[in-house]
Amino acid sequence: MGVLRKFLAWLSVPVVCLFALLLYCARPFNPDNNRLLGWTVARVGRCLLGMKRPVQGRENMPLDRPTVVIANHQHNDDLFIMGDLLPPRTVTVGKSSLVWVPFFGQVFWLGGNVVLNRSRSQKAVAIMQTVGDTLAHDGKSLWVFPEGTRSHGKGLGSFKKGAFHAAIASGAPITMVCASEYADRSSGLSGRREPVAVRILPPVETRGLTPADLPDLMARCHQQMADAIASITPASSVRSA
């Protein structure tokens, strides 16, 4: 049943995106489209997976000002765990190959999201700095997985600099979303997915910081996220499996 649940959950993504194309075409490049799509995909996906996702610290997510959200990236299923936590007017960062994924890629582009070519790291940093300059002016928030790749539930990886360049350039606070370590694991005859806990940490202000402050900012955020992930991951975590 667990395999069937996962198949249906991922089958729902292109179906939802197909219908979402109508909304995206009606108001192209409106960043609030992303929040509505993320909410729908996550809720439908968790329902099909039979997954519970308790959240601590919802009040820490800024809703009345732009923020740079950073979250730990473990599996593709992060979409179902965190997709409904986007603040208003949020754009996300994705690799250029996402644009070619049927239906999802088209709504990703029409949502005004940031497309990066990972093979050109210097250019990617410049793009993120430019994005940061426009965040406050356009009233947009930014969602980034700063590890840049999936950890597969094996601890928090090192951070790339892009999200922090964007936060410093915009003066927007950094909001950290931490998901407990998890595996593609179901339980019982019904095949329900094991629950994943999420904690949203208080924003870290960046106003007044300069690029010289970037290493310390990255280190502080990494330590806070690592501590939070460890505290919400149950004893039967992925690492001990």
Report CA dihedral (61, 71, 112, 53) to the nearest 10 degrees.
Answer: -70
Q: Mind listing the pLDDT tens digit for each residue in 25-45? A: 999 999 899 999 999 999 999
More confident residue, 124 or 154: 154
Q: Mind listing the pLDDT tens digit for each residue in 77-115? A: 999 999 999 999 999 988 878 888 889 999 999 998 888
* Measured distance CA(233)–CA(228) in Å, rounded: 9
Q: Mind listing the pLDDT tens digit for each residue in 150-179? A: 888 888 999 999 899 999 999 999 999 999
Locate 8 and state its tokens. 């249906």
Contacts made by residues 18-24, CB under 8 angstroms, sequence distance 24+: 18/103, 20/107, 21/103, 21/106, 21/107, 21/110, 24/106, 24/107, 24/110, 24/111
Asked if residue 16 has pLDDT above 50, the reply is: yes
Asked if residue 138 has pLDDT above 80, the reply is: yes
Domains and CATH numbers, the chain: 2-240 (3.40.1130)
* Measured distance CA(74)–CA(235) in Å, rounded: 18
Quick one: 124 exposed, middle or buried, by C-beta within 10 A (0-12, 13-18, 19+)? buried
Asked if residue 127 has pLDDT above 80, the reply is: no
* Measured distance CA(62)–CA(69) in Å, rounded: 10
Percent of the chain with pLDDT over 90: 71
Sheet of 68-71, strand order:
55-56, 198-200, 174-179, 68-71, 141-144, 90-95, 114-116
What b/e readout covers 179-194, taking b as 16+ CB neighbours within 10 angstroms?
bbbbbbebeeeeebbb
What single-letter DSSP state applies at residue 152? T
pLDDT at 240: 46
The length of the chain is 241
